[in-house]
Amino acid sequence: HRDTNYSGKPIGIAGRTYPKGIWTHSFDDATPADIVVDVAGKRFGSFVADVGVEDSAGNGSVVFQVLIDGAVKAESPVMHSGTVHTFHVDASGAREVTLRVLNGDDGYACDHAAWGLARFLDRGAPDPLAEVS
């Protein structure tokens, strides 16, 4: 789902609502749930997202990975409800970016995975969504 969870409501991760994002679900085995993005010829410098088990899921557990041209470049720990992990992945020169979700090795019940504010940033550009300190 784009911009909504399974129920069509806004995506929530660890109590924060994300107006933009991607919702998906893990499989019941080791099969990866992949979203593949063709970025060939783009000038992206990085991929950024907050990830976690979507708030409406209950007791799910998932692992998130970001692959650049088929190679794992970043991985979250096993994520459970109420926690968030932020990815900042170098995507310079990438042709393909894969957003992967795996179950947490305990089945796939409630494994509602959310990529909050998933975005690509141009090389050298500041992140307009970064929190101001």
Cα three-residue angle 108-96-90, rounded to 5 degrees: 90
pTM of the model: 0.94
Pairing type for strands 11-13 and 71-75 reads unpaired
5-18 b/e (C-beta count within 10 Å ≥ 16 → b): beeeeebbbbeeeb
Of the candidates 65, 1, 79, 5, which has an alpha carbon nearest to the alpha carbon of residue 32? 65
Residue 15 is given by DSSP the state: T
Q: What is the pLDDT of residues 20-79, one digit of tens each?
A: 999 999 999 989 999 999 999 998 999 999 999 999 988 889 999 999 999 999 999 999
